[in-house]
Amino acid sequence: MKLGTKARYGTRALLDLAQHYGDEVVPLKDIARRQQISLPYLEQLVGPLVDSRLIQSVRGNHGGLKLAKPPESIRLSEVVCLLEGPIEPVYCIHSPDKCNRSQFCATRDVWDDVGKAVTSVLDQTTLADLVSRQQAKMSPSTDMYYI
């Protein structure tokens, strides 16, 4: 299963906003620059995020974006489903009527388990978790040994 750029880039943009949570609004061009996402593509991703009320858009000279909810209340499963659609490794999981083998297919059960596992990880991961992970990756390691 491969997530598309909508989910990957949208999550990175939301992580950027989560890192600035509580600050003033963040200009979209700054997010694009920091996350190395083209501004036109990022503009396309913002619409559904605003419509779903995950982020707020502020217009004007000092406009930009900010999270509409605390980072700990935004789950990655919500983001991925919003930007990519249902989390399913194969189409027959949520549409068994589209395959005449669904009722008797043992491999479908495995794909269903895979989808549930992915959903579980995404359900358990919030933007606050990503902020913590990012901070850990950016801080200098204390495990350095000198000889």
Confidence of residue 146 (pLDDT cuts 50, 70, 90): low
Residue 145 lies in a domain: no
Residue 70 lies in a domain: yes
44 Cβ partners below 8 Å, 6+ apart?
Answer: none
CATH of the domain at 65: 1.10.10.10
DSSP 56-79: EEE-STT-EEEESS-GGG-BHHHH
Domain count along the chain: 1
Q: Any idea what DSSP says for residue 91?
A: G
**Rounded distance between C-alpha atoms, residue 101 and residue 73, angstroms:** 39
Residue 143 lies in a domain: no
pTM of the model: 0.86
The residue type of 62 is: H
- Asked if residue 92 has pLDDT above 90, the reply is no
pLDDT value of residue 15: 97
- Asked if residue 12 has pLDDT above 90, the reply is yes
Cβ neighbours, 10 Å, residue 35: 14
Give the side-chain half-sphere CA count within 13 A for 55. Answer: 29
Residue 13 lies in a domain: yes
Residue 101 lies in a domain: yes
Residue 86 lies in a domain: yes
Residue 39 lies in a domain: yes
- The pair of structure tokens assigned to 100 is 């005449």
Print the domain residue range for 124: 5-138
- pLDDT 10s digits, 93-117: 777 777 788 788 888 889 889 999 9
Query: Backbone dihedral region of 113: left (phi > 0), alpha (psi from -120 to 50 degrees) or beta?
Result: alpha
Q: What is the mean pLDDT of residues 42-69?
A: 94
